[in-house]
Amino acid sequence: MNMKRKPESIEGGQRRVSSLPMFRFYGVGSGLILLVCILSSGAAITEKNKMTVEGTRGMLEKWIEIKRIISKEKRDFELAREILKDRTNLVQQEIESLHGKIIDAENSIAEADKKRSDMVSENEKFRAVSSSLGNSLALLEQRTQQLVCRLPDPIQQRLKPLSQRLPTDPEQTKLSLAERFQNVVGILNEVDKSNREITVCSEVRTLPDGSSVEVASLYIGIGQAFYANANGTIAGTGKASEKGWVWKPSNEAAPQILEAIAILKNEKVATYIKLPVEIQ
């Protein structure tokens, strides 16, 4: 095969030089075979290039997709790690808070146990003191009851709401120690007040012969008393004893007793009066 440049051709008044090689064929059969080989070789090269580009494009697409997936996985991993880190910190804070609360609770329990121990100890002391006070109070109530029996009738009537609360059996009473002490103190205060006063009242007195007469009685404190009837014919004196008041006739002292009663009632001017007094 001999290649020569094809001569220039003129078309439309212009000269055009063809750059394609010219093939000189020495035989029809061999020329066809060569042409087919050239065409087949070009088609094969084109198909191979096409396959290479398509493969490269597919690989690039897959590589980009993989990179995208990896990037997304990294972002998700970082986000999950941050969330997990925050949750871990939160749980750690809760654990530390619970540890603090546990320590506070243990301290509170220890303090409560100490207070309970102190209260038990104080309670034992209070029980011992209460038992001692109960014994002393029982004796005090007994002596107060004896004192009430020696008081004049007007004072006994005034103290009756308090004296009725004195227990006959201290072991069976439902009153507390405080109530019992308050009751005794109330009686003693009233007795002390009455002992510093002079009381005048009307009474019915039983005479030695068994008859009864209305008299005016004059009580000086809680230890001495006098009585006299309105016309001054009957009079007497009284004093406290362990079994109650003891009365004795003293008719001769009736004028002085009536005069003293009149002075106390503001019916006469105050003056010195001699009255029979018995002191033990």
Q: Convert the pLDDT of each residue in 240-271 to its tens digit.
A: 887 788 899 999 999 999 999 999 888 889 88
For residue 55, which amino acid is it?
A: G
Q: What domain count does the chain have?
A: 3
Q: What is the pLDDT of residue 36?
A: 47
Model confidence at 2, pLDDT cuts 50, 70, 90, reads very low
Give the pTM: 0.53
45 and 100 housed in the same domain? yes
User: What is d(CA 204, CA 126) in angstroms, rounded to the nearest whole number?
Assistant: 51
Of 196, 231, 258, the residue that ends a domain is: 196
Taking CA atoms, 118 is separated from 84, 111, 122, 125, 132, in Å, by: 50, 10, 6, 11, 21
Half-sphere exposure of 172 (CA within 13 A, CB side): 3
Contact 131, 170 (CB under 8 A): no
pLDDT of 145 over the 60 cut: yes
187 and 231 housed in the same domain? no
Q: Is residue 4 part of a domain?
A: no
User: What is d(CA 2, CA 24) in angstroms, rounded to the nearest whole number?
Assistant: 6
263 and 203 housed in the same domain? yes
227 and 171 housed in the same domain? no
Comparing CA positions, the residue from 259, 245, 247 lying closest to residue 212 is 247
Model confidence at 23, pLDDT cuts 50, 70, 90, reads very low
Q: What is the pLDDT of residue 49?
A: 62
Please state the rounded mean pLDDT for residues 51-64.
Answer: 81
pLDDT of 16 over the 50 cut: no
Chain CA centroid to CA 90, Å: 31
pLDDT of 128 over the 50 cut: yes
40 and 64 housed in the same domain? yes
Helix (H) or strand (E) holding 175: none
92 and 103 housed in the same domain? yes
47 and 97 housed in the same domain? yes
166 and 232 housed in the same domain? no
Q: Is residue 178 part of a domain?
A: yes
pLDDT of 21 over the 50 cut: no
Angle formed at CA 10 by CA 5 and CA 15, multiple of 5 degrees: 75
The parent domain of residue 99 ranges over 28-114
Contact 23, 31 (CB under 8 A): yes
pLDDT of 6 over the 50 cut: no
Q: What is the pLDDT of residue 129?
A: 76
Q: What is the pLDDT of residue 123?
A: 83
pLDDT of 99 over the 50 cut: yes
Of 96, 114, 132, the residue that ends a domain is: 114
